[in-house]
Chain A
Amino acid sequence: MSRDRIRGLPRPVGNPQTVEDDLPGMGPSDCAACREELSAELDGEGDPARRPAVRAHLRTCPACTAWREQAAVVTRLTRTAPAEAGPDLVARVLPSAPRGSRRRVGARVALAVVGVVQIVVGIAALVGLVGHGDGSAMLGGADMAHMGHETAAWNLALGTAFVAGAWWTRHLAGLLPVLGVFIVVLAVLSGLDLAAGRVEPDRVATHAVLLVGFVLSLAVARSAPRRGPGPAPRAVAGPRLGEDAGPDSARTPLASRDDLGPVARARPPRRDVA
């Protein structure tokens, strides 16, 4: 087909950039709308509702019929053209990749250490206690030895929780209320007991390990990067110049990654130009 023939075809009216979906029904001479639809069909993005109008137009318009053939050739050529390969950039760009926060890593290690100390304290107490119950002083239905066992069990549990939390940091947040209540109650009671002379300061000092563990847990949990879908997409608006990923610009609520709007729509299989 000669160039002039194509050039002579009617162009869409108005600003070429804004003529879009809103073209009303396809008139017999509306070649631009017809070709847009033919083009979309080549990409598997055709609109079934417009199909009959396109077919009708093609029957009356040899120019568009010829254009369809040529467009198909160009499309085939594009997809079979050898893909140009760029250089491997991994080594060049990796230095700028985000690092895990040093302080966070430090807090996690410290938390694990505190957990181990706590476990050791628990085991030591347990070993020291086993078999030492003399059945004399009973408290709430348990003798002192059993009370000691309960304490040791708690120490072991909390130590394990610290170590586990240091590893699986995501579970740490759920642990905080338990730890918090335990430590506050223990602190208040220890203070009262100290004042009344019911406990040695040395004994109370061992509780400091718990307090340190709690503070570290708090630090690790608070420094956790937020994961998963945040409040919202900038949707189709896309990032504008200069604010590539603007922090908190106007966001609307979004449910989940399964609900990505336009992107989640069915689309044709990806055409990977090998």
Chain B
Amino acid sequence: MDDAVITDAALAARDGDRAAAARFVELTQQQVWRLLAHLADRGAAADLAQETYERAFGSLRRYRAESPARTWLLAIARHVAADHLRRRARRPVAPALLDDADEPLGAARPGDVAEGIALRLAVDALPTDRREAFVLTQLLGLGYAEAAQVVGCPIGTIRSRVARARADLVEGLGSTTTAGEAAVREP
């Protein structure tokens, strides 16, 4: 995926080009959705992605291509996720738990699927900072510098968070520990 293409689409969209706006969404929506699925919750990810684009389009006229549009957009998605978690924390009921139940917890399925689910659960059980760094660099394929820009932290912070996330996953997946346990183990 080409950052320059995405940035050009964003600039054209800013100037009122609807086709470019559609292209901008097409090129970025999978990454936005995946980030939100891991940072907030899977069931709400589509709605949150929609909110992300609405916010992005709302502030697009102030976008000056100082950073690549993808990085800019993912930073917005990150805020949307944080806002969502804050909203949810304020409410007594947590409907997300129901949404998340589309995959049975701990279900043993053969082969890659089981591995994939185990991995997903383990990733989602990581502490927020590490999960964020891990998802950005491993699942979205961002470089450390880009991830640092999305998060708004030094590159070294991404570097150490990714390493810690890996260590947690090695631990979580290597033993028979459930992901839930892994989450409480280390605040």
* B65 in contact with A3 (CB, 8 Å): no
* A263 in contact with B159 (CB, 8 Å): no
For window 15-44 of chain A, which residues contact chain B by CB distance below 8 Å?
16-17, 19-22, 35-36, 38-40, 42-43
Query: When each residue 92-121 of chain A gets 1 if its CB lies under 8 Å from chain B and 0 otherwise, what string results?
Result: 111011111100000000000000000000
Contact of B137 among A1, A22, A43, A227 (CB under 8 A): A43
Task: Write out the residue numbers on chain B whose beta carbons fall within 8 Å of the beta carbon of A229.
Answer: 64-66
Task: Write out the residue numbers on chain B whose beta carbons fall within 8 Å of the beta carbon of A225.
Answer: 14-15, 61
| Residue B84 is within 8 A (CB to CB) of chain A in the complex | no
For window 60-109 of chain A, which residues contact chain B by CB distance below 8 Å?
67, 70-71, 74-75, 77-90, 92-94, 96-101
Task: Say whether, besides A263-B67, A268-B143, A83 and B34 are in contact (CB < 8 Å).
Answer: yes
Query: Roughly how many angstroms separate A257 CA and B57 CA in the complex, as a whole number?
Result: 21
Query: Roughly how many angstroms separate A89 CA and B24 CA in the complex, as a whole number?
Result: 11
| Residue A55 is within 8 A (CB to CB) of chain B in the complex | no
How many residues of A sit at the interface, in one of the four size bands?
Answer: 35 or more
For window 1-38 of chain B, which residues contact chain A by CB distance below 8 Å?
1, 7, 11, 13-18, 21-22, 25-26, 29-30, 32-34, 37
Task: Say whether, besides A90-B26, A229-B64, A71 and B166 are in contact (CB < 8 Å).
Answer: yes
Query: Roughly how many angstroms separate A38 CA and B163 CA in the complex, as a whole number?
Result: 8
Task: Write out the residue numbers on chain A whose beta carbons fall within 8 Å of the beta carbon of B29.
Answer: 86, 88-90
Query: Roughly how many angstroms separate A119 CA and B179 CA in the complex, as a whole number?
Result: 75
* B25 in contact with A244 (CB, 8 Å): no
| Residue B106 is within 8 A (CB to CB) of chain A in the complex | no
Task: Write out the residue numbers on chain A whose beta carbons fall within 8 Å of the beta carbon of B65.
Answer: 228-230, 257
Query: Roughly how many angstroms separate A244 CA and B152 CA in the complex, as a whole number?
Result: 12
* B16 in contact with A99 (CB, 8 Å): yes
- A2 nearest CB neighbor, chain B only: B175
Query: Roughly how many angstroms separate A272 CA and B78 CA in the complex, as a whole number?
Result: 20
Task: Write out the residue numbers on chain A whose beta carbons fall within 8 Å of the beta carbon of B150.
Answer: 238
* B145 in contact with A86 (CB, 8 Å): no
State the Cβ distance, A6 to closest chain B Cβ, in Å. 5
| Residue A239 is within 8 A (CB to CB) of chain B in the complex | yes
Query: Roughly how many angstroms separate A83 CA and B53 CA in the complex, as a whole number?
Result: 21
Task: Write out the residue numbers on chain A whose beta carbons fall within 8 Å of the beta carbon of B171.
Answer: 3, 6-7
Task: Say whether, besides A86-B30, A97-B18, A6 and B170 are in contact (CB < 8 Å).
Answer: yes
Query: When each residue 230-274 of chain A gets 1 if its CB lies under 8 Å from chain B and 0 otherwise, what string results?
Result: 111110111111001111000000100100101101011011110
| Residue A150 is within 8 A (CB to CB) of chain B in the complex | no
* A67 in contact with B170 (CB, 8 Å): yes
Task: Say whether, besides A43-B144, A227-B11, A244 and B59 are in contact (CB < 8 Å).
Answer: yes
* A94 in contact with B21 (CB, 8 Å): yes
Contact of A245 among B34, B62, B156 (CB under 8 A): B62
Task: Write out the residue numbers on chain A whose beta carbons fall within 8 Å of the beta carbon of B56.
Answer: 244
| Residue A59 is within 8 A (CB to CB) of chain B in the complex | no
* A87 in contact with B33 (CB, 8 Å): yes
| Residue A45 is within 8 A (CB to CB) of chain B in the complex | yes
For window 32-72 of chain B, which residues contact chain A by CB distance below 8 Å?
32-34, 37, 42, 45-46, 49-50, 53-68, 71-72
Task: Write out the residue numbers on chain B whose beta carbons fall within 8 Å of the beta carbon of A17.
Answer: 129, 157, 161
| Residue A203 is within 8 A (CB to CB) of chain B in the complex | no
State the Cβ distance, B79 to closest chain A Cβ, in Å. 6
| Residue B153 is within 8 A (CB to CB) of chain A in the complex | yes
Task: Say whether, besides A81-B116, A89-B53, A100-B15, A240 and B152 are in contact (CB < 8 Å).
Answer: yes
| Residue B141 is within 8 A (CB to CB) of chain A in the complex | yes
- B139 nearest CB neighbor, chain A only: A273
Task: Write out the residue numbers on chain B whose beta carbons fall within 8 Å of the beta carbon of A257.
Answer: 7, 65
State the Cβ distance, A14 to closest chain B Cβ, in Å. 12
Instruction: Write 23 A-B pairs (CB below 8 A) sorted by A numbering.
Output: A6-B171, A17-B129, A36-B160, A39-B159, A42-B166, A84-B42, A86-B34, A87-B33, A89-B25, A89-B29, A93-B57, A96-B53, A96-B54, A97-B22, A225-B15, A231-B64, A233-B66, A238-B149, A238-B151, A245-B63, A245-B72, A262-B149, A263-B146
Counting from the closest, the 10 A-B pairs by CB-CB distance are A238-B152, A100-B16, A86-B33, A230-B64, A267-B143, A97-B21, A233-B66, A39-B163, A20-B156, A245-B59
Name 6 extra pairs, CB < 8 A, besides A84-B37, A86-B45: A6-B171, A35-B167, A45-B144, A89-B50, A92-B50, A245-B60
